[in-house]
Amino acid sequence: MTTSIEQPPAGVPDATAARAADHLWMHFARQGRHPETPVPVITRGEGAYIWDNRGRKVLDGLSGLFVVQVGHGRRELAEAAAKQAAELAYFPVWGYTTPVQAELAERVADLAPGDLNRVFFTTGGGEAVESAWKAAKQYFKLIGKPQKHKVISRAVAYHGTPHGALAITGLPAMKKDFEPLAPGGFRVPNTNLYRHPEFAEDPKAFGRWAADRIEEAILFEGADTVAAVFLEPVQNSGGCLTPPPGYFERVREICDRHDVLLVSDEVICAFGRHGVTFACEKFGYTPDLITCAKGMSSGYGPIGAMIASEKVVEPFLRPGVAFPHGYTFGGHPVAAAVSLANLDLMESEGLNQRVLDNEAALGATLRELLDLPIVGDVRGDGYFWAVELVKDKATRETFGAAERERLVRGFLPGALFDNGLYCRPDDRGDVVVQVAPPLICGQAEFDEMEQILRHTLTEAQGLV
C-alpha cells in the first residue's frame, strides 16, 4: 500500500531536510536523527491533503494539529491576511485596539455561551491557559479571597507547555525535566470509561464517580484555597476521552458550591471540532472561563483567547484595577482578520452542521477496526476520535515500554505517512492513534482513513 514516489538521487540529501537537521530545533521531537532518516518536509496543502517534497499526496487526518478546520489552500483566508497586512500589519492591544481586533472580540463574545462576553487575546492555547490561571488568581484576590490559588485538573490531561500551564497538565513525564513548576496544580481521575469496565453498564454512575473525585480534591485541599477546575470537554491526551452522562452538570454544581471557577479548555474542542462553536454547549454546561485557539483561524494565523464571564471580569472593571499580563503578538491584526474570514467561511459552508451530520458515520467507519486483534477501543465525538491499541484484547493489557518505543516512535508514524495518512500515534496515556480530519471531510475521506489504518495496524500486530 506504500505510495509510489520518485526518490532523490542516492547520496544527495534534500536541501530543506538538511537545513532543518542542522539548524531547526523542532518541537516535541527528538533532535538527534540518524542521517538516513531525513526530516520530513511538507511543501503544500490543498483541501484535506498535504504533499511532501517527494511528491507524495497524504490525507491530513489530524488537521495539522487539530487546527485546519476549513482545509488547506483557502485563498479567501490568504487574501484576508494580505489585505490586513497591507493596511496595518501590527499594533498591540496594550491599551489600544484596531478595527479587526475589536470586531473579532465582539464576534467571539457573541458566539460564546451565557454571559462570557470579554475576550483576552493570546497567540496560542498554552498562553490562553496561562492567562486563565492568572486571571483566576487575581480575581479571587480582588474579591477578598487571596488564598484561593490552586487548580484541579485531570490525570493525563494536557493543558500546555508554559510553566503555569504545565503545572496544570497531568502528564508527569512531560514535567519532570522542567521541575520545579508553579505550585498549586492537583490531579483527579479522568473519564476513560474503557479503563473502568466496572462502570460499563452504568456510564452515568461513572460520571458521578469521576465528578465526585473533583469535590473530594477540593475539600482535601481546602475550598478556601482552590481557585479553578480546568477541564477539556473531550480530553485529548489519553485518547479522546468523552464525558459520561451527567458529568459536567455535577462538576458545575460542585464548582458553584465551593466558589471555584470552572474553566473549559477548548483549545482543540472549539470552533466546530464537535459541531458547535464551543463544545461546552454540546455537553450541557456553561463555564466561567473558556480557553481556545487552533480552529479560530484554521491555522492561517497564530491566535488564541481566554473568554471571561461577567462574573469574572467585574472586579477587573473597578477603578484603578489592571490585569498586568499580556503578549506582544496577542490578537495580532493579521491573525484577527484571518480569524474573521475563517468564521465567515465556516458559517457560509455550514461546517458545524456538517460535523453533526457526519460524526456518527465517522465513528461507525472507525469502529470497523474493532475486528482487529490490536484494537481495543474506538472512542470520540464530532471529528475527534481515537483508536486505542492493546496487547491483549480480552484483558485490555497495554504495551510495555519497549513495545511502545517500537510502535509509537518507531513504526507507526512513518508507516502511516508512507501509506498515505498523517495522524497521531500517542502514548501519553495508553497507546492510541488519533484522527481529527478537517471539517470539510466526508465519507470518502473516512473510508480512506479506515483503509490505511487497517493496513498499517495489521502490519503493526507483527511487531508486538
Residue 425 has a pLDDT of: 96
Domain range for residue 206? 76-349
Residue 6 DSSP one-character state: -
- Whether residues 86 and 20 share a domain: the answer is no
**Which CATH number fits the domain that encloses residue 389?**
3.90.1150.10
| Cell 477539556, residue located | 232
Rounded Cα distance between 382 and 269, Å, is: 9
Answer yes or no: is 163 within a domain: yes
Same domain, 164 and 217: yes
Q: Does residue 9 fall inside a structural domain?
A: no
Q: Report d(CA 286, CA 310) in Å as an integer.
A: 12
The DSSP-derived string for 215-242 is HHHHHHH-TTTEEEEEE-SSB-TTT-BP
Of the three residues 326, 349, 372, the one that is the final residue of a domain is 349
> Cell 491499541 sits at which residue?
389
DSSP 151-194: EEEETT----SSHHHHHH---HHHHGGG-S--S-EEEE----GG
Strand partners, 388: 377, 432
Give the three-class secondary structure for 405. Answer: helix
* SS3 state of residue 151: strand
| Residue 251 contacts residue 211 (beta carbons within 8 Å) | yes
Please state, in angstroms and rounded to a whole number, the distance separating the CA atoms of residues 229 and 227. Answer: 7
CB atoms within 10 A of CB 462: 8
CB atoms within 10 A of CB 332: 27
What mean pLDDT is predicted for residues 175-199? 96
pLDDT exceeds 80 at position 6: no
- CB-based burial label for 44 (10 Å; 0-12, 13-18, 19+): exposed
Question: pLDDT by residue (tens digit) across 122-168?
Answer: 999 999 999 999 999 999 999 999 999 999 999 999 999 999 999 99
Residue 6 lies in a domain: no
Count the domains in the chain.
2
- Looking at the domain assignment, is residue 2 inside a domain? no
Are residues 107 and 255 located together in one domain of the fold? yes
The helix (run of H) or strand (run of E) holding residue 205 is helix 203-221
Question: In angstroms, how far apart are the furthest CA atoms of the chain?
Answer: 69
Q: CA distances (Å), 156 to each of 35, 113, 137, 425, in order? A: 34, 27, 24, 16
Rounded-to-integer distance, Cα 413 and Cα 406, Å: 11
Q: What is the pLDDT of residue 5?
A: 43
pTM over 0.75: yes
| Cβ–Cβ under 8 Å, residues 385 and 435 | yes
Domain membership flag for residue 1: no
Task: Work out the pLDDT band at 90, boundaries 50, 70, 90.
Answer: very high
Domain termination residue (choose one: 306, 331, 349): 349
Mean pLDDT value of segment 13-34: 80
Are 42 and 102 found together in one domain?
Answer: no
Per-residue pLDDT reduced to its tens digit, 359-408: 999 999 999 999 999 999 999 999 999 999 999 999 999 999 999 999 99
Indicate the residue among 349, 381, 398 that finishes a domain.
Answer: 349
Q: Is the dihedral of CA 180, 184, 189, 191 positive or negative?
A: negative
Kindly tell me if the per-residue pLDDT of 342 is higher than 70. yes
pLDDT of residue 348: 98
